[in-house]
Amino acid sequence: MSKGITTNEAAERLGVSAARVRRLVLDGRLPAEKFGRDLVINESDLKAFERLKGGRPPKAKPGTASGQDGRVIVTKKGGKKP
């Protein structure tokens, strides 16, 4: 039997807010069960979701851009890319 995880614990593991985890559950993308007033997520379901987690890649830091070959190009504020 899998261990039950709260939305707060799931949010911490996924690196998102608890509200985002609740939204994933309501959208049907992350299975969960209602236990009283709380949502409980099976650890095995969370692990499966972590493997499938896609979405938008993180934004680049200000002043940087990625080249096509994966190198990072740093520009000065107001400057042009070489």
Q: pLDDT of 24-82, one tens digit each?
A: 999 999 999 998 998 999 999 999 988 886 666 667 666 555 555 566 556 666 555 55
Q: Which residues of 7-81 form beta strands (DSSP E)? A: 33-35, 38-42, 64-66, 72-74
Q: Is 46 left (phi over 0), alpha (psi -120 to 50) or beta?
A: alpha
**Structural domains of the chain ordered from first start:** 1-82 (1.10.1660.10)
For residue 53, what pLDDT is reported? 64
- Would you say the pTM of this structure is higher than 0.85? no
